[in-house]
Structure 1
């Protein structure tokens, strides 16, 4: 029996609203700062209503960037970040789902040893192996390239583990039925496993896309040419201007523009993302 307690409903909704306000307020402040003159952000009293400088600020960042800070136009950095995040997300999913398929459905020597070797790499993030990885990429001539930005980050032990756990829940009768119908391993993988894994793929795509989008240390090391700058690098260069006070309106405008692609990805895949997380937990 479910008890009707209006005060409890009110309390839970109040907590949710307060939580949303706490999370959203810094974003609102960033937007307000992007619509005012740079001096308005350092006066001590931050305005809470939009200013009249919004059009000029966003036009400058999308058009010419900020030459004083050495940043290219925002649209170029957004494009670099988008392709980097997209290649990392698609590559991680492709490698992880095929490796999980091999581990679950093929019987070969040292199968579990291979899985645990993949899983142990979770203890070795990019920051730990940054120097040897950079040396390998430099020796292969992949500096200042999309291959250098993405290939070292393209494998994922987490996604392999999640796909393995999901494949182990697929009934064996499904595989036997496919085998009776004459379907080979790759046809079973393409026509059965991938369609039933769509929600998991969508959930992992959102996570991996954002992971690639917010990368800072690796792009900072691997790129020296402005044409390969990512949006996170651009924000840092805008803030690190030592010749004068940072143009906070331009910085915040860049921050707001940098939020748009990840937010759109989450909104477009929201239903599949939530469903995939729930099914993964099962």
Structure 2
């Protein structure tokens, strides 16, 4: 029997609060640093109290006031990152759920082998596959294109495995009932499987959107045209200056702006995720 000890509650809350502070402190530093003048960073330290230059920092970023450090307008970089994140998220979900549907509900030779060939790719890190993948994209003339940025990152063994496990929990009686009612495979998929997978789709979308948004290595490999530069690569280029000191207030302003879309997606999709859980319980 577990005893209700109040000091354990206090300890658990203290650990959680400490964890939140550790995670949130870098975000706080970025926000505070974006409110100061560039001269505030000459000493090599970052102020921990808000400054009075918040309007100047963000206005300068949007108006091109840091053109020496930003070769591409921030709007273009944000748009490229948004296209990449959405394409990867939707592409991964679409490919994975259809793959899992085929593996679970269709009888074809070597379907188990096909699943394990997909699953075994989890053991191969991206860095192992990145050189041959780049070679394929180069041979297909897909460099400096949204197709080259997104298509190679759309396959997901993790999402396929998740949807397969979800489909295996659906009772066979439901499948038989749909077959008796005359529902074909795609109607069964659209009217039954998709609504029952809303929770998983919502959770996966959040994870995959952030995964696509935070991509750094692949975009700088397949794009040499600045018009395809993403926001993460842009922040790195802003910090890599040779003949002058980086304008850290502008860099932190761009960093804060780069954090907003993933944060908004998490907040928005969290409601959908909870709603999916409640509806599934009903």
The TM-score normalised by the length of structure 1 is: 0.93
Residue 218 of structure 1 pairs with residue 252 of structure 2: no
Once residues 261 and 129 of structure 1 are traced to their aligned partners in structure 2, the CA distance between those partners, rounded to angstroms, is 29
Aligned ranges 1:173-192 → 2 under 5 Å: 173-192=173-192
Residue 144 of structure 1 pairs with residue 144 of structure 2: yes
Kindly provide the CA deviation profile for residues 242-270 of structure 1, in whole angstroms up to 9, marking residues without a partner as x. Answer: 11111111111111111000001111111
Which has the higher mean CA deviation after the structures are superposed, 202-211 or 18-27? Answer: 18-27
Once residues 126 and 28 of structure 2 are traced to their aligned partners in structure 1, the CA distance between those partners, rounded to angstroms, is 33
Kindly provide the CA deviation profile for residues 187-236 of structure 1, in whole angstroms up to 9, marking residues without a partner as x. Answer: 00000000000000011111111110000011001111221110000000
Number of residue pairs matched by the alignment: 277
Q: Which residue of 1 aligns with 2:228?
A: 228
Unmatched 5+ stretches in structure 2:
278-282
Aligned ranges 1:4-23 → 2 under 5 Å: 4-23=4-23
Q: Which residue of 1 aligns with 2:63?
A: 63
1:275: how far off? 8.3
Q: Which residue of 1 aligns with 2:31?
A: 31
Q: Which residue of 2 aligns with 1:193?
A: 193
1:45: how far off? 4.7
Q: Which residue of 2 aligns with 1:116?
A: 116
Which has the higher mean CA deviation after the structures are superposed, 54-63 or 250-259? Answer: 54-63
Whether the 8 Å contact between 1:65 and 1:72 is mirrored in structure 2 is no
Once residues 46 and 106 of structure 2 are traced to their aligned partners in structure 1, the CA distance between those partners, rounded to angstroms, is 62
1:171: how far off? 0.6
Kindly provide the CA deviation profile for residues 136-158 of structure 1, in whole angstroms up to 9, marking residues without a partner as x. Answer: 21221211111010011011011
Q: Which residue of 2 aligns with 1:250?
A: 250
Which has the higher mean CA deviation after the structures are superposed, 96-105 or 38-47? Answer: 38-47
The TM-score normalised by the length of structure 2 is: 0.93
Structure 1 vs Structure 2 CA RMSD: 1.8
Aligned ranges 1:124-163 → 2 under 5 Å: 124-163=124-163
Once residues 125 and 2 of structure 2 are traced to their aligned partners in structure 1, the CA distance between those partners, rounded to angstroms, is 47
1:3: how far off? 4.5
1:8: how far off? 2.6
1:28: how far off? 0.6
Whether the 8 Å contact between 1:65 and 1:73 is mirrored in structure 2 is no
Matched position secondary structure for 2:251: helix
1:18: how far off? 1.6
Which has the higher mean CA deviation after the structures are superposed, 118-127 or 95-104? Answer: 118-127
Unmatched 5+ stretches in structure 1:
278-282
Once residues 87 and 5 of structure 2 are traced to their aligned partners in structure 1, the CA distance between those partners, rounded to angstroms, is 49
Once residues 180 and 164 of structure 1 are traced to their aligned partners in structure 2, the CA distance between those partners, rounded to angstroms, is 23
Matched position secondary structure for 1:26: helix
Whether the 8 Å contact between 1:57 and 1:253 is mirrored in structure 2 is yes
